[in-house]
Amino acid sequence: MSFSVAGVSHNTASLELREKLAVVAGDLRSSLAAIRRKCALDELVVLSTCNRLEFYFRGDGDQVIAHMAAAGGFPVHEAHNVIYRHDGEAAARHLFSVAAGLDAMIFGETEVLAQCKAAYEAALTAGATGAVLNAAFQQAFLTAKRVHCETAISRGHTSVGSVAAALVRRIFGGLDGRGVLVIGAGTMASNTLENLARLGPREVVIANRSIPRARELAGRFGGRAARLSSVESLLEETDVVVASASSASHIVTRDLLESVSLRRKSPFLILDIAVPRNVEPAVAELSGVSLYNIDSLKETADKNAKARKRASAMAHRIVSEEAGSFESLMAERRVAPLVAELKEMARKIASSEVRAALRRVESGAVAADEIEKLAHRVANKILHAPVAALKQAAANGGAERLADAARKLHGLKDDAQR
């Protein structure tokens, strides 16, 4: 009744492979339905971010890995080179670590918790989750909160946005008099812009397919909204570009940026934090352009991670403790139907014997005698099946394990404790 996870991350797969496997946000609902159907899964949550693609599921793990191998364009027998899989408590430990930012490219990253919540909400809305994954993700969110409250892993630059701001400060010293163009209006865009806004940009423009969504984000930072189709003209007036749109093709190409560069002299800093990438890699070859993708931000992030990693041991202890508690809860749920059946059996036996005893008392029997007989009859009937099973096992020469189980079930002392 537990769950599994199969996936790739920045630890196991290149950016190119992660691009192939990424599930675009707008396609998530249909992808959930298609993958569940294809792999015959009881429950599924898909976590697709710039750093990872993970399937949290209940069902046939071999089918999930075969699906990922086909999507990535490599033979299934080579899947173990890049795809990891965890089951049971190990899967819970992995999910809790991811939600808490312990497996993030930027150690202690806080944005990943919001991404986990969004992935879960999408699956919940699509009807792809059930009792197990609902419980797992709720526990993951509580674990992440506990890790960030009880340890120091959140100190310093703990998000792509904060690392991006640090990079801007290093290159430009600030954003005074400079324009910022944000392509996309999702969570990553919002978090990055929140950090860049503190550097005092001259202007903020949000270019997005959905203008209402762009207006909403722009309004929070005193910026303006624009259509995605106007990116070329917007590039002429900007200095820093943050690209984080959900798109299967490049929005900023080398040819486009080369054309823009001919009409202006200022250098570009482009932060492409989308997967699949929004900016054609060949853009980096242009003079006056500094291009950073999600993986190249890691070097900057690593310099800020040392102090937080000192809190790693405590954070991992919390995750292990919570994962163990979750697995115990799942084990309890597995035996819950049997416990209910045993209680119902005992209730029926007791109820039947009480009714019979009352009839005898009404017919003149002594109440005290009937109560004593009632207790004996109830005990004998409840113990009849286990006693018969023990005798049968003894006759067949295999009573030891059953006898040990009976002692544990009834709280009896074993021979060593007598």
Q: What is the mean pLDDT of the chain?
A: 88
pLDDT, tens digit (0-9, with 9 covering 90-100), for 346-360: 899 999 989 998 999
What pLDDT shows up at residue 294? Answer: 87
Q: Using pLDDT thresholds of 50, 70 and 90, give the confidence band for residue 154.
A: low
- Give yes or no: 50 in active site: yes
What pLDDT shows up at residue 390? Answer: 85
What structural domains does the chain harbor? 4-155 (3.30.460.30), 160-305 (3.40.50.720), 330-411 (no CATH)
What would the mean pLDDT of 152-161 be, rounded to a whole number? Answer: 69
Catalytic residue among 39, 50, 116, 149: 50
What pLDDT shows up at residue 95? Answer: 97
In this prediction, what percent of the chain has a pLDDT beyond 90? 50
Do the beta carbons of residue 129 and residue 45 sit within 8 Å? Answer: yes
Residue 74 pLDDT more than 70?
Answer: yes
H or E stretch covering 334? helix 312-362
Do the beta carbons of residue 306 and residue 158 sit within 8 Å? Answer: no
Residue that wins the pLDDT comparison between 400 and 287:
287
Q: Cα 252 to chain center, whole Å?
A: 30
Residue 258 pLDDT more than 80?
Answer: yes
In this prediction, what percent of the chain has a pLDDT beyond 70? 94
Q: Using pLDDT thresholds of 50, 70 and 90, give the confidence band for residue 156.
A: low
For residue 266, is it left (φ>0), alpha (ψ between -120 and 50) or beta?
beta
What pLDDT shows up at residue 415? Answer: 61
pLDDT, tens digit (0-9, with 9 covering 90-100), for 290-319: 999 988 877 666 655 555 666 788 889 999
Neighbours of 97 (CB within 10 A): 21
Residue 157 pLDDT more than 70?
Answer: no
